[in-house]
């Protein structure tokens, strides 16, 4: 019998008392933080006794944290506890600016693993599985911290990291590994190495049957998943959605449906807010807004009303057929990745779905922006699938697919298979080439 005692199985109202008690402790931590005391000089932080009151408090965003770390290195004055409370340090990749230092106490680290384990378990990982973890262990949370989340499911976890793809293929074969944890773009690289160095091995015969992924748009597209299943015989699950400053992995789909369960219901307060504004959107099925998160049980670097920059749609709040009471949502896109073309909002995830639906293409694409907005047409680079050639009908088909959903015009560049650079880490599909 699977364990159904975790917080993710409770309905939100069943956790109210527990959350209330946690907030009493958490507000003391926040009140002791010089960062929050100074965050709004004009309106000193008055921490409400109940969670219902937090909607009146100021937001915190990434820029606030960046500035604070720059003036109070290494962890910022929002560290809350003393340096001796930190038992693990991670750094974020810093691809969008200054690298950030993340501090976890032993308690914080245990909690991260527990919540991440809920997400990976829901996606079908557990005792009896052997999963190889192929994310970067160097500084980044996706390595060690995600590894411990995988372990929390009871599965056997093989720490591999990135690179050395030939060794990975030999390791998978020798150990009978049946599951992989990696970025959605990594199987394409794995297939290239297989083709080049192990021409006798079919991807399917490698034995991978489950894939646990996250972190890139396009993963939720059924065509992308269908392609992985056809080529590898493995089911791809979106089991790893997180915000490194908040919790490394706090949402994932279950085996019953494709939306993400919010797995941190007992340790976080979530809100939806209109992007770029302060208006709170009601927390009910069908609502859309920027995800704003407050820690309820965090010792180091507690966050209060943190604007994640992720635009989400809440899809369901009733109990799922899998038994979990945790609400479900979909990630629509990043508020900073929204491209406005002739008044229409486009996100890379929508483009991914259109590209994946073209059988002449292999699914790789980049949106390369050479100048600041406004854009008259969406500049899109795609790669042909092996054995296919560029044609007028291909361009028409893509135009029609994006046109039907978004009424977008395209500036399309069709490239030969393998032209776009493949990476082992997170692939940036939206590239801004201007300062």
- Residue numbers at the binding site for Zn ion (CB under 5 A): 254, 256, 320, 322, 324
Minimum Å gap between C-beta 253 and Zn ion is 7
Residue (56 or 256) nearer to Zn ion, CB: 256
Minimum Å gap between C-beta 244 and Zn ion is 25
Residue (8 or 108) nearer to Zn ion, CB: 8
Helix H, strand E, coil C: the string for the chain is CCCCCCHHHCCHHHHHHHHHHHHHHHHHHHHCCHHHHHHCCCCCCCCCCCHHHHHHCCCECHHHHHHHHHHCCCCCHHHECCHHHCCEEEECCCCCCCCCEEEECHHHHHHHHHHHHHHHHHCCCCCCCEEEECCCCCCCCCCHHHHHHHHCCCCEEEECCCCCHHHHHHHHHHHCCCEEECCCCHHHHHHHHHHHHCCCCCHHHHCCCEEEECCCCCCCCHHHHHHHHHHHCCEEEECCEEECCCEEEEEECCCCCCCEEECCCCCEEEEEECCCCCCEECCCCCCEEEEEEEECCCCECCCCCEEEEEEEEEEECCCCCCCCCCCEEEEEEECCCCEEECCEEECHHHHHHHHHCCCCEEEEEEEEECCCCCECCEEEEEEECCCCCCCHHHHHHHHHHHHHHHCCCEEEEEECCCCCCCCCCCCCCEEECCC
Residue (259 or 310) nearer to Zn ion, CB: 259
Residue (125 or 352) nearer to Zn ion, CB: 125
Minimum Å gap between C-beta 238 and Zn ion is 12
Minimum Å gap between C-beta 396 and Zn ion is 39
Minimum Å gap between C-beta 149 and Zn ion is 18
Residue (192 or 256) nearer to Zn ion, CB: 256
Residue (230 or 256) nearer to Zn ion, CB: 256
Minimum Å gap between C-beta 1 and Zn ion is 17
């Amino acid at each position: 019998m699977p364990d159904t005692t975790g917080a993710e199985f409770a309905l939100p109202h069943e956790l109210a008392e527990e959350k209330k008690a946690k907030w009493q402790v958490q507000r003391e931590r926040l009140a002791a933080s010089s960062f929050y005391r100074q965050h709004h000089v004009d309106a000193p932080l008055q921490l409400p006794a109940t969670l219902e009151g937090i909607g009146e408090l100021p937001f915190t965003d990434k820029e606030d944290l960046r500035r604070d770390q720059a003036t109070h290195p290494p962890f910022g004055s929002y560290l809350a506890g003393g340096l001796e409370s930190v038992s693990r340090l991670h750094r974020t990749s810093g691809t969008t600016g200054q690298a950030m230092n993340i501090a976890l106490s032993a308690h914080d680290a245990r909690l991260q693993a527990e919540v991440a384990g809920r997400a990976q378990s829901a996606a079908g990982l557990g005792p009896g599985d052997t999963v190889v973890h192929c994310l970067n262990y160097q500084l980044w949370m996706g390595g060690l911290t995600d590894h411990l989340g995988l372990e929390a499911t009871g599965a056997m976890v093989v720490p591999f990291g990135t690179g050395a793809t030939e060794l990975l293929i030999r390791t998978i074969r020798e150990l009978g590994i049946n599951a992989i944890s990696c970025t959605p773009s990594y199987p394409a690289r794995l297939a290239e190495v297989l083709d080049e160095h192990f021409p006798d091995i079919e991807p399917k015969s490698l034995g991978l049957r489950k894939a646990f992924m996250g972190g890139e748009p396009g993963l939720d597209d059924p065509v992308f998943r269908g392609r992985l299943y056809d080529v590898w015989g493995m089911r791809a699950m979106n089991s790893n959605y997180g915000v490194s400053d908040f919790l490394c992995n706090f949402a994932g789909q279950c085996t019953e449906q494709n939306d993400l369960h919010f797995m941190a219901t007992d340790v976080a307060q979530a809100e939806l807010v209109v992007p770029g504004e302060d208006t709170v959107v009601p927390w009910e099925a069908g609502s859309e807004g920027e995800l704003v998160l407050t820690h309820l049980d965090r010792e180091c670097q507690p966050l209060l009303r943190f604007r994640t920059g992720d635009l989400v749609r809440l899809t369901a709040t009733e109990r799922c057929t899998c038994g979990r009471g945790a609400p479900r949502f979909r990630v629509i896109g990043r508020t900073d990745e929204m491209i406005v073309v002739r008044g229409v909002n486009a996100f890379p995830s929508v483009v991914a779905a259109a590209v994946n639906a073209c059988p002449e293409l292999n699914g790789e694409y980049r949106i390369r922006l050479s100048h600041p907005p406004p854009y008259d047409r969406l500049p899109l680079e795609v790669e042909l699938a092996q054995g296919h050639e560029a044609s007028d009908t291909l361009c028409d088909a893509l135009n029609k697919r994006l046109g039907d959903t978004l009424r977008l015009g395209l500036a399309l560049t069709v490239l030969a298979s393998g032209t776009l650079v493949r990476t082992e880490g997170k692939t940036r599909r939206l590239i801004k080439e201007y300062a």
